[in-house]
Structure formats: structure tokens, C-alpha cells
Amino acid sequence: MAVTGFVEFAGTNHVRGWAYDSNAPMSRLEVAVRIGDEFYASAIADISRSDLLAAGIGDGCHGFDIDVSEARFSAAELAALEIHAISGVDVVRIERVAAASEPLTDLSSDPSMPLSDATQFPVFVLGPARSGTSAMTLALLESGSYLGMGEGHLMPLAHALLSAVDRHYQNAADEANTLRAQVPVTAFQKLIRRAFVQLASELFPSPRWLDKTPTVEMVRASVLMRELWPNARFIFMKRRVIENLMSRKRKFPGNTTDSHFSDWAAVMSAWLAVRERLGAAAMEIDHRQLVLDPQSVAASVADFLELPQSAGARFVRYLSQARPEQTDENFGATYSLEELGLSDAERQRLIGVCDLVMQAFGYGYGIEYYGSGA
């Protein structure tokens, strides 16, 4: 007697797995579902499965999928189910792959770990590169209220991992007889969320910490950041593409003009898509505001973040006096599109990529900064 097989899933609607008799490799076994002496349903294990064929299990046509929906099993009854394979006069009980009768619901080794953390008060400094994100970050660190580093680039990974998991499950065919079918997408989602909540609590012993990641990926991840940390605050630093492009070309001369303005447009567009969802947890600051009236901007940020008085004073003083990351000797100057020195083709590409975003933020192309008229 050489009947083998496994029950891979036992739920309220279906019981799935495979059964095979190596002494009769071309036979199709009957599989029955029972609880003690009570019979409920049966089916023939004749479903073709490529994984069985690849593993050398006969011709691969030994899978079964038994409909048990009419039985309306309770959780206790599911746990008591017995699955038997019948080969001639022999009846062999098939073991389950896992002890659980339902799909796994949580991959975390510690389900008590939180999916979010309302005890922390992180600040996420967002925006295109060369728009004042460094100045804001350094000032907040100087205030003494926040832990963090000058650059982040870690937190977008949470959004990327969740997106990858979602895509994997969305694009998957309906394959009942796979391991993936036994693990719901929510199991991975919980695992990833718990991991980043726990990671932040270990990295930052203080409830106030900050992250500065001036990329489009971070902007797209901002809604998730608020779900993970409900008391998070977001500061979006914005700047007109003309001055932003000039600053980028000075700071990063090796990058192409097209890459500079395309990245600017991507980050600014992503912000337009998420800012309403962040609501009162977010504020926008234009780089020009920071240049013209740093003390007022700093005061509004300190109020927005509810900084303690002494920390707020250090923050305001730093932003008002230090002016970090300054690359233009004519600090605060505005320029027209024509002054960028672009070729006609570059100019048209810039307008094509950036114009809708420029309009959305009320920017113009002339020396006046705001307004219209390319």
C-alpha cells in the first residue's frame, strides 16, 4: 500500500489537496470528507497540476477540490475534519500540510505588535531636491526636539514593499492549489506594517523624530506614513521649476536638464495627489517664502509642530540666520525661463512636462515668479 497525499486547505467552502497511489499511478482516487463516522462530501482526485507532475507524482492529475459549502462547518468542525483517500478496499487518512484549517491570517511571530503607533510624533520633510528640504531638516535637528539624520531614504521602502505584495496578488491567476492561495495578502501587509512601526521605535527612543527624503517615492508613501503614525506631520517644501532647475544644475552638474525638471514635475504632481488626504497634518512652504521671511515661516512651523518654547526659539534662530545649502550668490533672486539658457527643444520639453504643475501651484515663467505667461 503506497497511498500518499496532503490536505493543503480546509475551509468553509472547499477542501483542497492531492492524493496518489504509487502502486497504481494511473488510477484516480476517491477522496472523502468525514467527521468521525459522519460522511459529508467526496470527489475524485483527478485535477491536473503542474507542480505534481514536476515532482514526479504520476502524470500530475491527482489534485482534488471538494465543495463542502452545504455542510456549513463551524470552526470547531473544521478542526475536526478527516480527509480519507480510497484506493480499492484501502482507506487512508491524508494529513494536513498545516495544523490550521483556515488560511494563515498573520505572518508576524508576535501578533500583539501594533500596526500603528500613536505614541510617536514624527515629521516628514518632503519636496523636490533643492527646494529647502535640507534647511528645514537641519533647523529641526538644531531645535533639539527631534532625532534623525540629514537624509532618510528608508521609509519609502515600506510603501514599495506593500505595493509589490499587492501587485503580486493582483496579477496572480486563481490558483487554488498553490501555497500562495493559503496565505492571504493581508498577512504580508500586516507583517510589513508591524516591521516599520517596530523599526522606528527601535531607531528613535524619543517620540519626536524626523525623516527627510526628497523623492517622489516618499511623497507617494506619505499617506501610508500617516496610517503607521497617526500623529505624524508633513512639511512640503516647494519651489518654482526655474529656480529649482538652476539650483540643481549648480549642485548636480552631471545630471541632464531633462532629468532635473522631470523629477521636479514628478514630486510636485505626487504632492497634488496626496495633500488633501493628509489634510491638517500637512503644511506647504514655498522656498521663496523661506528666503523672504524666514522668521515668519519658522514661527508658523514651530506653531504647526507645537514645539516647546525653547526648541521653537532655537529653530527660528537657525532658519533666520544660518540659511544652509545656499548655492546662488544672488540669494533670493528670481529668473525668467529665458535666463535658463535652454535650447528651443529643451524649453518645449520643459513646458510640456511642467506646465500643468506650474499652473496648479500658480507659478509663472517670468521674473515675477507668480502669474502666467510662458
pLDDT of 374 reads 42
Selection from 218, 204, 162, 154 nearest residue 187 by Cα: 162
Domain edges within the chain: 3-94, 123-330
Q: Mean pLDDT, to the nearest integer, of 37-63? A: 89
| Number of DSSP helices (H) and strands (E) in the chain, helices first | 12, 12
pLDDT tops 60 at residue 108: no
3-class state of residue 215 by DSSP: coil
Selection from 30, 304, 16 nearest residue 180 by Cα: 16
Domains 3-94 and 123-330 share a fold: no
Q: What is the pTM of this model?
A: 0.72
As a whole number of Å, the end-to-end CA separation of the chain is: 84
Selecting from 2.60.40, 3.30.70, 3.30.43, 3.40.33, what CATH number does the domain 3-94 have?
2.60.40
| Structural contact between residues 236 and 127, judged by C-beta atoms closer than 8 angstroms | yes
| Structural contact between residues 124 and 275, judged by C-beta atoms closer than 8 angstroms | no
Dihedral (CA of 112, 115, 117, 123) sign: positive
pLDDT tops 90 at residue 96: no
Q: How many CA atoms lie within 13 A of 271 on its CB side?
A: 26
| φ/ψ of residue 83, rounded to 5 | -115, 125
Length, in residues, of the chain: 374
pLDDT tops 50 at residue 255: yes
Question: What pLDDT digit, counting tens, does each position of 339-372 carry?
Answer: 999 999 999 999 999 999 999 999 999 999 998 5
- Assigned fold of 123-330: Rossmann fold (3.40.50)
